[in-house]
Amino acid sequence: MKTFLKTYARFLYPAVILVLSFGVYFTYYGSPQAMFWDENYHVASAQKHIDGVMYMEPHPPLGKMLMAVGEVLFGGNGNVDKSKLNETDYLNGDQAPPQMTYKGFRWPSVVMMAISVLFFYGILRCITQREWLAAAFTSLVIFDNALVIHSRAAMLEGIQMFFILAALYYFVRVATDHIHEGKKILLRHYAILGVLIGLSISVKVNGMILVLLFVMLYGVDQWQAIKQWQWLPLAQRLAVTVPSGVVPLLLVFFGVFYIHIGMGSTIMKDRTYKASPEYLAQIRAGNTWAPGTFMIGMRDNWKYMSEYADGVPRLDVCKSGENGSYAMNWPLGKKTISYRWDKNTVDGKTVVKYKYLTGNPVVWFSVLAGIILSSGLIIGRFIYGNAIKDERLFFWICAFTGLYLSYMIAILQIERVMYLYHYLVPLVFGAINLALIFNYVFRDEVIANNRHTIINASLFALLVIGVFAFFSPFTYGFGLTEDQFELRNWFSFWQLQVVR
Amino acid sequence: MNKLMDKNWIFSGLILAIVVLILIRITPESVDPVVKLVISKNRASISNIYQPRDVEFTKEVMVDRLNLLDKSRFSHPKLGNIAGYSDDFFVDVQHRIQVLKGGQFRFMIGSDDGFSLSINGKKICEHLGDRPYSVQPCFVQLEPGTHDFNLSYFQGFGNSGLTVQYALGSDKPRWFGDNSSSIKF
């Protein structure tokens, strides 16, 4: 048995992870049969792709395109009249056909997020070279309540997370192959990375943070030249790697918009989204796939996105029912968002089914602890000149701490109101960082496959799973009484609000 | 000693400490069962303590003392919302008290909304309708021996809460349910 496990570990771990992930993400994802949060926007937009209706939106269109694919393949709404969806950008629950299901629209986010945990596992497996360590820390993304509730919906983050983790995995794979096996980093590696980053940005523009991966890949690629400061070879390499990465990125981004503009062949009533007269004329003439139309349409879409972003209000904590929050508070889970609730009185007891965006506190606090530890390690090395015990691992920690901090610094520059789920991307960076910090602290024990260290990692994973299960009523909408709700209201700064 | 300084054992200890903290946090609170409350959910909205009752559900809850105001809600500081409802319910307390030392007692009834207090079948004080949380002193002469304490309370709509304290003469007030040299519950 032991031999069997050792022989097939490289297949068994991913297989078990995939089964667990689908069990958590996929089970009853069609529930509730009603929209919540931004689904009201995205479902309406995705339907416009199906019906060829021109629309503009603050986010790039790839996420909605994939939702449209999901709806066409798995929607099961063949007999439902969805024409109302094309007449609005925000579909009210009252306007939605009552028999309509949302399984198809949610399918891409659910499935892509469930699969993307394999990328997470692969990243840790490549860096740490230990399946058990990678598997234990993959529990951080399978069993985080915030990731699960947000991805089990027709929203953009689950889809984007797939491309983000795919890009990270590809970068780590190429870099570790170069570091461990001496494989050369080729221009096609930059190009493929560019494609993956482009796909991420085509869902939401905050994927731009991944552009830092080009810099890191270049650093790995040219490490010897950087150390010796051979500026001429460095500049020569830069001159070819930048276009190799950026051109595919731009091709993907504009390619997605080309398809979006091409598919928008119908103008619904007076819904023109401030499009220019020449763009509208081209649509009415049936020239939506023409290169000239793309140029005009791209300009108009860009202008719309820009104006929309300018019009989004700022955070107003004094506003009643404000769901937004300061980015600095996100690592502690402040503030949670009530996506929807359904109140019932059963046998005289009030039972409420909540859908609450709240993180798994073990995951979120551990990630924060990991960032504090890694920041201390980096400061100790570069400020105090402390020795490091594993240079490669140290630089991986620098990379993921750097991604986490860069994202948070960038977010802090944005003036519009932001929400807790904007933290999901750095949360994943931080989760990888946490696994690496664990590896760094227990380096010798990890190399030796120390039994106590393996048990500790497993206990940590079990703790994550246990706390996920405890908070799962908020994630899956299981009914809670007020007392049961209060048992889960651990910190006042989460601002959970019981429904009475 | 070496084991205590071992990184693995420190990590195991950390996980154990977190588990213990979580268990403490999620273990439901319990208190001494001293006073019985009969909580009745009314079908119709309530605006007067004496209005005819149309009871939908009734349940009994034991508490340690009549301190049922927390964050402007009918709520026990440890047990939480023991009513399970937020609006339109009655609470009845029928408790036999043993007076150890006779004299003039002061019962401070705090309620949001109305209440009615009788001792030995004699009405002592009341507030009939809605009000924000207010404390009302009720005076009664009690001799040593047993006495029947009957309190009815209702919550209509909005904030809620019920508190009862007692004191003999100028003694320091104590919660109804806490024994003293003058009353045993």
Radius of gyration (C-alpha) of chain A in whole angstroms: 24
User: Are residues A85 and A222 both part of a single domain?
Assistant: yes
User: Are residues A389 and A416 both part of a single domain?
Assistant: yes
Q: How confident is the model at residue A114 (pLDDT cuts 50, 70, 90)?
A: very high
Average pLDDT over residues A147-171: 96
What is the predicted pLDDT for the residue at A91? 87
More confident residue, B93 or B1: B93
Average pLDDT over residues A44-59: 93
Inside any domain, residue A397 = yes
Residue B1 has pLDDT above 80, yes or no: no
Neighbours of A462 (CB within 10 A): 14
In chain B, where the domains are located: 31-184
The residue with tokens 């208190």 is B31
- What element of type H or E holds B158? none
User: Are residues A251 and A279 both part of a single domain?
Assistant: no
CB within 8 Å: B41 and A348: yes
Lowest-confidence region among A339-348, A404-413, A471-480, B38-47 = A339-348
User: Are residues A242 and A282 both part of a single domain?
Assistant: no
What is the predicted pLDDT for the residue at A311? 86
Question: Which among A348, A453, A487 has CB closest to B56?
Answer: A348
CB within 8 Å: A350 and B85: yes
Contacts of A486 in chain B (CB under 8 A): 80-81
- What element of type H or E holds B151? strand B145-155
User: Are residues A233 and A301 both part of a single domain?
Assistant: no
User: Are residues A18 and A97 both part of a single domain?
Assistant: yes
Mean pLDDT score across all residues of chain B? 93
| Domain of residue A295, residue span | 272-311
User: Are residues A288 and A229 both part of a single domain?
Assistant: no
A273: left (phi over 0), alpha (psi -120 to 50) or beta: left
Q: How confident is the model at residue A243 (pLDDT cuts 50, 70, 90)?
A: very high
Q: How confident is the model at residue B30 (pLDDT cuts 50, 70, 90)?
A: confident
A450–B contact, CB cutoff 8 A: yes
Mean pLDDT score across all residues of chain A? 93
What is the predicted pLDDT for the residue at B82? 85
A317–B contact, CB cutoff 8 A: no
Q: How confident is the model at residue A79 (pLDDT cuts 50, 70, 90)?
A: confident
Inside any domain, residue A324 = no
Inside any domain, residue A338 = no
Q: How confident is the model at residue A201 (pLDDT cuts 50, 70, 90)?
A: very high
**Closest chain A residue to B13 measured between Cα atoms?**
A456
Average pLDDT over residues A296-305: 94
User: Are residues A366 and A253 both part of a single domain?
Assistant: yes
Q: How many structural domains compose chain A? A: 2
For chain A, percent of residues with pLDDT exceeding 90: 78
Inside any domain, residue A280 = yes
Distance from the B172 Cα atom to the nearest Cα atom in chain A, whole angstroms: 33
Neighbours of A432 (CB within 10 A): 28
Measured distance CA(A119)–CA(A110) in Å, rounded: 15
CB within 8 Å: B18 and A348: no
| Residues of B at the A interface, defined by Cβ within 8 angstroms | 7-9, 11-12, 15, 18-19, 22, 25-26, 28, 41, 56-57, 59, 79-81, 84-87
Inside any domain, residue A135 = yes
Measured distance CA(B52)–CA(B42) in Å, rounded: 10
Question: Which among B22, B57, B86 has CB closest to A348?
Answer: B57
Residue B3 has pLDDT above 70, yes or no: no
User: Are residues A305 and A219 both part of a single domain?
Assistant: no
What is the predicted pLDDT for the residue at A5? 72
| pLDDT tens per residue, range A418-431 | 999 999 999 999 99
ipTM: 0.86
Inside any domain, residue A316 = no
Q: Is B148 helix (H, G, I), strand (E, B) or coil?
A: strand
Say what the pTM is.
0.86
Average pLDDT over residues A101-130: 95
Residue A228 has pLDDT above 70, yes or no: yes
Question: Which among A350, A456, A482 has CB closest to B12?
Answer: A456
Measured distance CA(B69)–CA(B76) in Å, rounded: 6
CATH of B31-184 given 2.60.120.680, 3.40.1190.20, 3.30.930.10, 2.60.120.1560: 2.60.120.1560
Average pLDDT over residues B113-133: 95
User: Are residues A415 and A293 both part of a single domain?
Assistant: no
Contact B68, B161 (CB under 8 A): yes
